[in-house]
Homo-oligomer: A and B are copies of this chain.
Amino acid sequence: MLERPADVTRLARLFHALSDETRLRIVGKLLGGEQCVCNLTDALDAGQSRLSFHLKALKDAGLVSDRREGRWVHYALNPDVLQEIKSFVGSVREGAARCC
């Protein structure tokens, strides 16, 4: 998993998206299913532009996708990304097994 430079770059991006508390809390909210931005603004104590900034970070990393419905925009977790993290964890486990 970490042999190919492209994978290293991709994983670094992914982990960076998850390396911020505000973004992790957003992810936490999205575990309950798709949410409109207004719900997230209420739930987290983050100002509007701050929330938007972090949603963009999550979206750029491919972790979430957005969907416009009238005036509202809904964000949801992208299930594909999970596989990438799982592959990484898998490769680490193999490595750990080999060495200990």
Interface size on A, residues (CB 8 A): 38
Render A69-86 as a binary contact track against B, CB cut-off 8 A, 1 for contact: 000000011010010011
Give the number of times this chain occurs in the complex, counting copies: 2
Alpha-carbon distance between A21 and B15 when the two chains are bound, in angstroms:
10
B85 near A34 with CB under 8 A, answer no
Residues of B within 8 A of A15 (CB): 15-16, 18-19, 24
Alpha-carbon distance between A79 and B8 when the two chains are bound, in angstroms:
20
> B12, B31, B76: which contacts A92 (Cβ < 8 A)?
B31
Alpha-carbon distance between A22 and B61 when the two chains are bound, in angstroms:
19
| A91: interface (CB < 8 Å) | yes
Q: Which of A3, A15, A79, A89 has the most CB of B within 10 A?
A: A15
Residue positions of A touching B, CB distance < 8 A: 1-3, 8-9, 11-12, 15-16, 18-21, 24-25, 27-28, 30-34, 76-77, 79, 82, 85-86, 89, 91-96, 98-100
